[in-house]
């Protein structure tokens, strides 16, 4: 990107979710979504948001990673379905 956009600020960001010490990816299917919700029910999930800012003119790169917790209440099977 830096060669296509000289003299620009380039921003990149992504997020990952950790539940019970494991990275949880996108579910991709309804069944996997239900499985993830059952596992998250009543638990605390930590999200890590990463941010990168690159100055293509100077070559300076600044990065940050910020964690935050989401507290899930207990979800009934009916709510999950």
Give me the CATH topology for the region 9-80: Maf protein (3.90.950)
Interatomic CA distance for residues 72 and 8, integer angstroms: 40
Active-site pick, 14, 20, 69, 77:
14
Q: Where are the alpha helices (DSSP H) in 1-81?
A: 30-40, 77-80
Please give the structure tokens belonging to residue 38. 């059952």
Do 56 and 7 contact (CB within 8 A), yes or no?
yes
Phi, psi (degrees; rounded to nearest 5) at 17: -115, 135
pLDDT tens over the chain, length 81 residues: 888 988 999 999 999 999 989 999 899 999 999 999 999 999 999 999 999 999 999 999 999 999 999 999 999 999 999
14 is catalytic: yes
Reported pTM: 0.77
Do 47 and 17 contact (CB within 8 A), yes or no?
yes
């Amino acid at each position: 990107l830096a060669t296509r956009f000289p003299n620009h600020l380039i921003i990149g960001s992504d997020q990952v979710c950790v539940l019970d010490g494991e990275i949880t990816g996108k579910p991709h299917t309804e069944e996997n979504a239900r499985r993830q919700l059952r596992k998250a029910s009543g638990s605390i999930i930590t999200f890590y948001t990463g941010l990168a800012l690159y100055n293509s003119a100077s070559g300076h790169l600044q990065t940050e990673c910020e964690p935050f917790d989401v507290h899930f209440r207990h979800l009934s099977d009916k709510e999950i379905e």
